[in-house]
Structure formats: structure tokens, C-alpha cells
């Protein structure tokens, strides 16, 4: 059992009784896999019209009387202490209501860290916030200015004079490697895997690849920068936040400010992109503290620059991958060693070394990763954490191995694809990566690829094709709850503190609830996005859909029992047991005798009830203990490289996914495409530039940090196997993050096929090709 599994089972033993039998070993699959009506359709997004009309209210837009606007002053050194602080000019500036520094900030506890067993916390680091004069990274907030307008706050912030006593900071990755640390375990797995004498098998192998792959530091750039509108009301705290961790944020703020959890409300109905970054960072905490001091509501809306200095990114990595194979391509050894940055105060792991543990069968493994502790901002989660940089290294190495053997890269994968968990031996719940390859290859036209690199050309352009696998584990979080309410006209509302970051959360769960309860779509509403609703875990780890689905499924079981009880004896249903009825046509009916039925409306009216409410909870994800559960994909890229300038233009991308059942084709395509575009950015342009002398991030705007824009994004085609996973609710696994994995490798492999040049260092900028 992995650490995660241990932790989840240990942490939620109390709710094990609620796990639906259908997902347990030996249980039958979720019946909705084959009975769906609304699910599988292309429902448009419920939130679409409001967003298009500008009626959807985001955190920085919530109207509030008497509001003050916050601006931050960031440390200019990486390590040391604040020696002098002169805020008098700022305090005297027009419109300024308050300047907060460590001299007058209220006492705040250290943020409770987010963890797989602590879903009610959301902290990304464990440092005290504005409690002392110490500086721990370049960019740390040293002063908060509140003023009547944002412009006044920004201006006053420029008037603050800070003197530092700097000490030698550790900001150099290369240097830090020598004193890197090696944790026993990462967030979800044991770190070291040593099985079957990989070093010896590598030494003896007929074919081997042994290379170093590097990926840069990357920063988050959601369309909506982080924002909160904060108000204290009669000792209670209300935070309108842009967050993918509503309850985690509420729970953390309660701890930090010594409040009862019930006295903190976090509201977040719409989030303009999260990707792992929209958790709890210093800006919410400082905003809450400043609002308390000023005794007025406060709006914090981070500038792009503040966002880069305060919100962590994906660590840079240096990964050695060594693969050994027989002449027929059978893998004999997989070695994956590497370094990332993880300051000791940082919570988030970049578990790139997990990638190679599930994709391919192999006789031996030697896997471990090390972390460099630097005086930098804490890491964040970033779409496909671990597997995104991990697949770059492993999947480039697989391409190199195929080339060395003289074998088609897809054929090499076919010969080695895992048919069960390569490490534990556990069976897959469902896995069909090669079906994804076959689908994708046919659509893409893989047969047109020239095996010999550098042989296809159109004028100055060299044309290349590449492919790579993607992978991401299945997760379903315990404790996610929904309240399902039926009113006496038979309409249903589903409510949960779930998150909408643009992926279609409410849309898909409305489809689900309609099918689960035998109703047409227009009889179901979904309410999400507020901590006053039943607990939901974070929208992360591609787990939200499965967690909510499990909770709705559990609620539906309770509804049956309650409805039968309310129906009493004066009903055609009289005498039927819960197992003998099913939902249909807005009511219950006998499975054996459908003529015995009664509608929800009739049952509620007869019993004099205005409504009936039950709460269902997702329970422990026991299925992940028995089964190896991963979404997988096959990525294809065709591109051209200018022989004159080295410029890379991607012509097309094809992504073929094996993620169980797809619940809504329209929202799924959007998720997959968005993920692949993030992979495209990683491959070609995204890179956080750090001045290693000062620890200062230099690329703090969208001009300096280039994310793909329309002109960069080619035609992207999305395909899927749509094979249901019998061990998950609705037969679906997660789709939020896998889109990003494997894309950078497919692009790098296509560059090699076009040019014969193997670039192992992201991003693939043109200087590396000249």
C-alpha cells in the first residue's frame, strides 16, 4: 500500500461504511455507465450565458461599500532582515487609510499546510507571515498599503523606504545540488524505488539510453490573477475569493486568525482558471489582517508582477533517465534520478519520478529524486504536477531508445506497455493506452512519418512528426459531500462547496444528477462555490468530478430509503424495499413491476412535506488500494523547423485519451485542449527567468513570460477510447490534468524527427536549434 493509500484509509476510517459496494473489489460497476441519458451528451455550460454577458461576478468584482484597495511592497532581497522601514510618506499620501508592516500586523498563526489527509487546510508554505523582520525570499511582502483607490494604494506603495540587512542567500540551483536533501516520501508515494538490480541490467544491456533532461521553473498565468474581496462583519469573516480550495481556505483562515470555522465564509462561485495555483497564499491572509486593522472591507487584486512574486510555480527539474532494452525492445531497466527545488518551507511536491512507475512493464527500477533547498518562494501545484516534467524526460528517452534500436516509437511502447502495475503487480481497473495510440495514429497519419530524421522538407522548413505517452493517476477524495433536495413539485437541487474554474463542474453534475434520479435536465439545479454548502475537497488532482459523483451516488441511496419511508403504505410502492425500486420519470418505481410507481411530487405532497433533503458523502477511495488506476494518453505532433532561423511552428497536435467514460464531450474537449496548450507552452516558450545573484524573478509580465496565444496554437484534435472504468463512479477517471502530460515530449521528439537534433532542455527555443 502506498503512503497516500495508507493515509487516506487511516484518516477516514470513520466513513468507510459509506463506500458504495459497486466500486469495491468484486462489486458491480456503477449502473449509470450503461443507463446514461444526459451524460455523454454535449450539454453547454450552465455558467456560459452569465460569463458571456459579463453577469458572472468574479472575486475582484464583488460590490462592497466603504471598500479599501490593497497594494503590496515586495522584498528586494532574498535573505536577511528588514533594518529600517519608513512608511511616513506613504501614510501621508492621498487616500491612504493604513500601512501594515510587521510592526503593526495582527498576530497570525502559521498557515496549516495542505495535505492529502488535511483537506480542510490549504497552506502552500509554513512560514510566518509578516510577524517579524526576517526575509525568506525575494518577493516576500514587507508592507501592505490600503487606500481609497487602487491607484492611490499603488502610488503610496512606491513611497515606502525599506533598508535591508542582507545575508548570503542560497539562490543557485547548480550550487544547491551538492547539499540536496532526499525525503523518504513525497506527498503521495515513497520516494526511493529500487527493484531488480537496475544498474547491472543497464550495464549489460544490448541497447541503452542514458541522458539528462532539464525543465525550467514555470509560473502560473491564469487569465484571472488572484483576488479577494474581504469583509469582517460582527466578528465573522467573509472572503469572496478566487480559489480552488474553498473549505481549505476557510479552514486555514479560521486557524490563522483564531476563529471558529463556522465564523469564516469563503465564497467562490467563479474562478478564472486555477491550474493548481488558486490555493491559499499570503495575499488572502494579509488582506484579512489589513481589513481587521483598518476595520473596513478590503479588496486584494494581485498585479501580474505580485502574482509572480507571491504565488509559487513549478520547480525547475534536472532528470537523468537511463533505459536499457533487448534488441527486440523489451525494457530491462528504468533508472530515473533527479533534482528539483523545494525550499524546506514549501509543501508541494513535483513528483516527476512517479511517471515511470506505472507506464511500462520493466524488469528493474532505480528511482529517486532529490530536492534543493533554496531561499525562494514555495512551489505551487501546476497542472499535472510530477507527470508533466516527468513525461518529458521518460518519453523523450523512449523516443531515443526507439531510434537507437531502429524501431518505430509506437511499437517500442506496444512491446512494453504495462498490463498491470509494474511495481506492485496490482491489476488495472481499466487501461487501454495502446488503443489510444491506435486511434491517434490513424487520425494523425503516423504512417507518413519518416523513420530517418531530417528527410522531409518544404523549402526552408524541415518537417517532423513525434509521439509520446501521457499519464496521470486517478484520485477520488474522501469527505466530499452533497446535499440533494427534492421539493414538492419534484424539482431537484444539488448543493456542494465545489469549484468552477472553467471546467464545467455544475454542468456535468447536473447531467449526472438528472440521470441518477431519473429526471430531465431542466428539473435539476446545481449550487456550488460557497463554504456554507456541504464540504467539498479541492478542485485538484483531477479528482473533483469523481468525488462529487460518488457523493451524489451516495445521496441517491439515502433518497430512496427516505422516499419509501415518506410514501408509507398508501402508495403503489408499499412493501417494496430500497433494492426493489429505481428512479424513473421523476419518481420511484418497482424494478420488477414498473406499474408500481409514484412521483417525488406526489410522495412529498401526500406526506405534507415542502421538501426532502439528504446529504451524501464520497467515502474513502478504497478502489485505489486494490487497483492500479491511471488515465493515459497518446500525443502526436507534426511541426516544422526553419533551417534559417531555428524557429519551430507546430502544425498540428492530436491527443488520444484513455480516461474511462467521457461525461460531456464538449467540456471534455475543452479540458483536453487546454491541457495540451499548456504542454505546448511548456515545450516552446514558458520559462521563469531568475536572477540567480539576487533571487529576483525577472519575468513578471505576460510580455516576459510567454504563454501560447492564438497564433502559437495549431489545430488540435481530441479523441478518446471511451472504455468505461468499472471501478469508478460513472466509469470515468479524471481528465483535468492529463492533457498537459506528454505534450512537450511529443513536440521535442518531432523536433528530432525534423532536424536530427536532440534537444533535452526546455523550452525548445530557436537558439538551441542553430
Backbone angles phi, psi at 128, to 5 degrees: -65, 145
CA separation for the pair 213, 358 (Å, rounded) = 20
Selected range binding ligand MOS among 376-384, 421-429, 552-560, 581-589, rule: CB under 6 A:
376-384
With binding defined as CB under 6 A, does residue 381 bind ligand MOS? yes
With binding defined as CB under 6 A, does residue 276 bind ligand MOS? yes
* Residue closer to ligand MOS, measured from CB, 274 or 297: 274
Q: Is 93 within 8 Å of 156 (Cβ atoms)?
A: yes
Chain residue at closest Cβ approach to ligand MOS: 276
- Three-state DSSP class for 327? coil
With binding defined as CB under 6 A, does residue 269 bind ligand MOS? no
All three cell numbers of 676? 495540451
CA separation for the pair 202, 210 (Å, rounded) = 9
Selected range binding ligand MOS among 157-165, 272-280, 351-359, 524-532, rule: CB under 6 A:
272-280
Number of H helices, E strands in the chain: 19, 29
With binding defined as CB under 6 A, does residue 383 bind ligand MOS? yes
With binding defined as CB under 6 A, does residue 275 bind ligand MOS? yes
Taking CB under 6 A as the criterion, the residue among 113, 272, 385, 470 binding ligand MOS is 385
Burial of 681 (0-12, 13-18, 19+ CB in 10 A): buried
Taking residues 520 to 559 in sequence order and writing x for each that binds ligand MOS by CB under 6 A, - otherwise, the string is --------------------xx------------------
With binding defined as CB under 6 A, does residue 681 bind ligand MOS? no
Active site residue 580: no
Q: Per the residue annotation, which of 387, 617, 717, 737 is the catalytic one? A: 737
* Residue closer to ligand MOS, measured from CB, 681 or 724: 681
**Cβ at position 493, least distance to ligand MOS in Å:** 27
Taking CB under 6 A as the criterion, the residue among 176, 274, 422, 464 binding ligand MOS is 274
| # chain residues binding ligand MOS, by CB under 6 A | 11
* Residue closer to ligand MOS, measured from CB, 244 or 685: 244
* Residue closer to ligand MOS, measured from CB, 535 or 752: 535
**Cβ at position 593, least distance to ligand MOS in Å:** 47
CA separation for the pair 715, 444 (Å, rounded) = 11
- Three-state DSSP class for 623? helix
* Residue closer to ligand MOS, measured from CB, 340 or 540: 540
Cell 483531477, residue located? 542
Residues 718-737 that bind ligand MOS (CB under 6 A): 737
* Residue closer to ligand MOS, measured from CB, 725 or 737: 737
Selected range binding ligand MOS among 270-278, 423-431, 466-474, 626-634, rule: CB under 6 A:
270-278
With binding defined as CB under 6 A, does residue 679 bind ligand MOS? no
With binding defined as CB under 6 A, does residue 313 bind ligand MOS? no
**Cβ at position 402, least distance to ligand MOS in Å:** 30
Distances (CA, A) of 701 to 309, 688, 689: 11, 10, 11
Taking residues 563 to 592 in sequence order and writing x for each that binds ligand MOS by CB under 6 A, - otherwise, the string is ------------------------------
Within 168-257, residue ranges assigned H as helices are: 173-176, 198-204, 246-257
CA dihedral 294, 295, 296, 298 (to 10 degrees): 60
Residues with Cβ < 8 Å from 159, sequence gap 6 or more?
89, 90, 93
CA separation for the pair 504, 664 (Å, rounded) = 9
DSSP structure string for 147-183: ESSHHHHHHHHHT-EEEEEE------HHHHGGG-B--
Torsion sign (Cα): 342, 346, 351, 352: negative
**Cβ at position 546, least distance to ligand MOS in Å:** 13
* Residue closer to ligand MOS, measured from CB, 244 or 755: 244
Residues 231-250 that bind ligand MOS (CB under 6 A): 244
**Cβ at position 278, least distance to ligand MOS in Å:** 8
- Three-state DSSP class for 497? coil
CB environment 421-430: b (16+ within 10 A), e (fewer): bbbeebebbb
Within 495-632, residue ranges assigned H as helices are: 505-516, 544-567, 600-606, 623-626
Selected range binding ligand MOS among 205-213, 269-277, 301-309, 420-428, rule: CB under 6 A:
269-277
Q: Is 498 within 8 Å of 528 (Cβ atoms)?
A: yes
Residues marked active site are found at 737
Site residues (vs ligand MOS, CB under 6 A): 244, 274-276, 381-383, 385, 540-541, 737
Amino acid at each position: 500500500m502506498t503512503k497516500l493509500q495508507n493515509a487516506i484509509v487511516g484518516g477516514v476510517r470513520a466513513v468507510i461504511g459509506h463506500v458504495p459496494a459497486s466500486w469495491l473489489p468484486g462489486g458491480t460497476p456503477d449502473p449509470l455507465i450503461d443507463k446514461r441519458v444526459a451524460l455523454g451528451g454535449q450539454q453547454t455550460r450552465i455558467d456560459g450565458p452569465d460569463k458571456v454577458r459579463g453577469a458572472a461576478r468574479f472575486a475582484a468584482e464583488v460590490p462592497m461599500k466603504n471598500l479599501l484597495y490593497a497594494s503590496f511592497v515586495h522584498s528586494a532581497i532574498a535573505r536577511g532582515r528588514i533594518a529600517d522601514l519608513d512608511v511616513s510618506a506613504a501614510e501621508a499620501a492621498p487616500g491612504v487609510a493604513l500601512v501594515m508592516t510587521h510592526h503593526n500586523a495582527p498576530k497570525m498563526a502559521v498557515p496549516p499546510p495542505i495535505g492529502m489527509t488535511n483537506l480542510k487546510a490549504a497552506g502552500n508554505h509554513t512560514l510566518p507571515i509578516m510577524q517579524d523582520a526576517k526575509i525568506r525570499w525575494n518577493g516576500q511582502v514587507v508592507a501592505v498599503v490600503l487606500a481609497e483607490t487602487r491607484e492611490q494604494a499603488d502610488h503610496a506603495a512606491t513611497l515606502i523606504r525599506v533598508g535591508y540587512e542582507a545575508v548570503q542567500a542560497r539562490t543557485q540551483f547548480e550550487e544547491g545540488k551538492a547539499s540536496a536533501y532526499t525525503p523518504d516520501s513525497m506527498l503521495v508515494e515513497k520516494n526511493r524505488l529500487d527493484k531488480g538490480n537496475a544498474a547491472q541490467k543497464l550495464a549489460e544491456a544490448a541497447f541503452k539510453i542514458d541522458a539528462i533532461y532539464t525543465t525550467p521553473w514555470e509560473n502560473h498565468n491564469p487569465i484571472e490573477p488572484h483576488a479577494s474581496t474581504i469583509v469582517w462583519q460582527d466578528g465573522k469573516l467573509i472572503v469572496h475569493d478566487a480559489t480552488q480550495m474553498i473549505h481549505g481556505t476557510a479552514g486555514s483562515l479560521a486557524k490563522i486568525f483564531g476563529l471558529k470555522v463556522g465564523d469564516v465564509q469563503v465564497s467562490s462561485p467563479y474562478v478564472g482558471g486555477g491550474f493548481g495555483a488558486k490555493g491559499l497564499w499570503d495575499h488572502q491572509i494579509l488582506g484579512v489582517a489589513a481589513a481587521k486593522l483598518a476595520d473596513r472591507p478590503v479588496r486584494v487584486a494581485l498585479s501580474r508582477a505580485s502574482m509572480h512574486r507571491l504565488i509559487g510555480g513549478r520547480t525547475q527539474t534536472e532528470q537523468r533517465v537511463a533505459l536499457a532494452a533487448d534488441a527486440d525492445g523489451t525494457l530491462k531497466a528504468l533508472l530515473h534520478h533527479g533534482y528539483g527545488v523545494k525550499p524546506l518551507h514549501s509543501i508541494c511536491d513535483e513528483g516527476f519520478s512517479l511517471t515511470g512507475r506505472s507506464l511500462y512493464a520493466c524488469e528493474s527500477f532505480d528511482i529517486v529524486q532529490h530536492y534543493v533547498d533554496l531561499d525562494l518562494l514555495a512551489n505551487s501545484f501546476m497542472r499535472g504536477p510530477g507527470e508533466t516534467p516527468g513525461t518529458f524526460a521518460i518519453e523523450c528517452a523512449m523516443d531515443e531508445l526507439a531510434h537507437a534500436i531502429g524501431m518505430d516509437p509506437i511499437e517500442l511502447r506496444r512491446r512494453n506497455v504495462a498490463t498491470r502495475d509494474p511495481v506492485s503487480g496490482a491489476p488495472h481497473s481499466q487501461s487501454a493506452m495502446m488503443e489510444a495510440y491506435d486511434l491517434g495514429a490513424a487520425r494523425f497519419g503516423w504512417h507518413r512519418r519518416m523513420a530517418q530524421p531530417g528527410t522531409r522538407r518544404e523549402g526552408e522548413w524541415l518537417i517532423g512528426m513525434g509521439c509520446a505517452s501521457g499519464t496521470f493517476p486517478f484520485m477520488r477524495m474522501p469527505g466530499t459531500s452533497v446535499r440533494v433536495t427534492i421539493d414538492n413539485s419534484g424539482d431537484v437541487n444539488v448543493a456542494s462547496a465545489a469549484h468552477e474554474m472553467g471546467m464545467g463542474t455544475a454542468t456535468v453534475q447536473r447531467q449526472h444528477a438528472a440521470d441518477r434520479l431519473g429526471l430531465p435536465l431542466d428539473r435539476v439545479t446545481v449550487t456550488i462555490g460557497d463554504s456554507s454548502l456541504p464540504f467539498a475537497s479541492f478542485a485538484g488532482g483531477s479528482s473533483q468530478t469523481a468525488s462529487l459523483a460518488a457523493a451524489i451516488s451516495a445521496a441517491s441511496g439515502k433518497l430512496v430509503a427516505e422516499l419509501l419511508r415518506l410514501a408509507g403504505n398508501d402508495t403503489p410502492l408499499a412493501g417494496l424495499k430500497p433494492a426493489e425500486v429505481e428512479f424513473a420519470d421523476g419518481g420511484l418505481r418497482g424494478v420488477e413491476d414498473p406499474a408500481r410507481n409514484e412521483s417525488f411530487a406526489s410522495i412529498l405532497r401526500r406526506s405534507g412535506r415542502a421538501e426532502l433533503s439528504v446529504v451524501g458523502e464520497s467515502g474513502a477511495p478504497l478502489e485505489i488500494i486494490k487497483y492500479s488506476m491511471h488515465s493515459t494518453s497518446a500525443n502526436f505532433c507534426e511541426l516544422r523547423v526553419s533551417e534559417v532561423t531555428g524557429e519551430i511552428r507546430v502544425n498540428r497536435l492530436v491527443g488520444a485519451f484513455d480516461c474511462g467514460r467521457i461525461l460531456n464531450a464538449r467540456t471534455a474537449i475543452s479540458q483536453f485542449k487546454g491541457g495540451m496548450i499548456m504542454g505546448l507552452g511548456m515545450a516552446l516558450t514558458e520559462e521563469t527567468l531568475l536572477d540567480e545573484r539576487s533571487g529576483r524573478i525577472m519575468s513578471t509580465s505576460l510580455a516576459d513570460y510567454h504563454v501560447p496565444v492564438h497564433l502559437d496554437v495549431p489545430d488540435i484534435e481530441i479523441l478518446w477510447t471511451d472504455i468505461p472504468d468499472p471501478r469508478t463512479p460513472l466509469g470515468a477517471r479524471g481528465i483535468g490534468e492529463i492533457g498537459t502530460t506528454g505534450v512537450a515530449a511529443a513536440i521535442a521528439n518531432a523536433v528530432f524527427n525534423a532536424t536530427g537534433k536532440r534537444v533535452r532542455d526546455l523550452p525548445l527555443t530557436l537558439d538551441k536549434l542553430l
